[in-house]
């Protein structure tokens, strides 16, 4: 597997899904990513493309033709081509092929670039339309961090902090139906932080739209170690700590989300779907910064 390394961090990456496997601080030898326990959840930071979440009945429609995708799309199940540009940069590339075209009938190139700078790891996702027609897609990240960072600590001492005070409603998920309700519920009223409690995630992820903060952080009241997630170009944010998986907190920047309950329209009619013209590209970025 490819590695990135400087005097602050060592990062392991996986061409399968173009995901981050570990981010290890050289000062404290802590892996700040989820430990990838296959008996619980064997991923750590898959790239979500061309959908975020699930489509109803794993089925979606383009020009009245039905196609099938499982949750979060096919990118996480494919091995990307790898180019180690330098000791601190790797580019992963995935393009349309005969198998993908049966799931997603567009020609595209997806380039996921990771670059290390000091205590920060940047991830830029670029979609290039190589088709002769407009293409449609959603895209997102799913980095899951260790929570707690240190063995023996309690996740109850950890909290999420937004960089600005937010007044936000939470979109309501319906996990038993693998979809989202049109209902929303108040969550923040001119607030910045909340403590990590498993009960908050009893209904799966907490999902926000149109948040103001560019940075969301995971911190502890016991020490100054922290993870900061800075996001550019995303319109939704998912926060997830599964009730079935202890020891992780995912901070997920998204363009798009799981289908609304009962949605059976065309893919291009989904909320937050990107429309991209031929020979154009679209990119988003998130940067993970570690305070050790």
Q: What is the pLDDT of residues 113-129, one digit of tens each?
A: 999 999 999 999 999 99
The Cα–Cα gap between 65 and 194 comes to 44
Q: What is the pLDDT of residues 21-48, one digit of tens each?
A: 999 999 999 999 999 988 888 899 999 9
Residue pointed to by tokens 């981050």: 20
pLDDT in the model for residue 1: 87
Alpha helix segments (H runs only) across the chain: 100-103
Q: Note the CATH number of domain 3-291.
A: 2.70.98.10
Report DSSP state, residue 168: E
Domain ranges of the chain: 3-291
- DSSP line for 98-126: TTHHHHS-S-EEEEEEEEEETTEEEEEEE
Q: What is the pLDDT of residues 64-94, one digit of tens each?
A: 999 999 999 999 999 999 999 999 999 999 9
Q: What is the pLDDT of residues 207-246, one digit of tens each?
A: 999 899 999 999 999 999 999 999 999 999 999 987 777 7
Q: Residue 19 phi/psi, 5° resolution?
A: -110, 160
- What would the two tokens of residue 199 be? 């009960």
Write down the pTM of the prediction. Answer: 0.96
The Cα–Cα gap between 31 and 148 comes to 11
């Amino acid at each position: 597997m490819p590695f990135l390394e400087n005097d602050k961090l060592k990062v392991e990456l996986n061409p399968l899904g173009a995901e981050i496997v570990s981010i290890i601080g050289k000062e404290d030898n802590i892996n700040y990513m989820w430990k990838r326990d296959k008996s619980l959840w064997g991923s750590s930071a898959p790239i979500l493309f061309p959908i975020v979440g699930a489509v109803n009945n794993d089925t979606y429609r383009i020009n009245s033709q039905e196609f099938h995708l499982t949750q979060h799309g096919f990118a996480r199940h494919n091995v990307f081509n790898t180019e180690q540009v330098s000791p601190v940069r790797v580019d992963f590339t995935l393009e349309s092929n005969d198998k993908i075209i049966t799931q997603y009938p567009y020609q595209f190139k997806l380039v996921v670039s990771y670059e290390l700078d000091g205590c920060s790891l940047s991830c830029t996702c670029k979609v290039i339309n190589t088709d002769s027609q407009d293409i449609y897609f959603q895209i997102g990240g799913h980095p899951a961090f260790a929570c707690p960072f240190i063995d023996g600590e309690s996740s109850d001492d950890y909290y999420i902090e937004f960089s600005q005070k937010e007044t936000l409603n939470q979109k309501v998920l319906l996990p038993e139906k693998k979809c989202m309700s049109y209902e929303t519920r108040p969550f923040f009223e001119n607030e910045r932080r909340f403590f990590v409690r498993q009960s908050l995630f009893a209904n799966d992820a907490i999902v926000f739209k149109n948040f103001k903060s560019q940075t969301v952080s995971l911190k502890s009241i016991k020490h100054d170690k922290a993870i900061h997630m800075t996001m550019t170009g995303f319109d939704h944010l998912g926060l997830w700590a599964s009730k079935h998986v202890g020891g992780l907190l995912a901070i997920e920047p998204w363009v798009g989300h799981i289908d609304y309950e009962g949605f059976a329209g065309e893919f291009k009619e989904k909320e937050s779907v990107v429309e991209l013209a031929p020979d154009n590209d679209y990119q988003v970025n998130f940067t993970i910064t570690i305070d050790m």
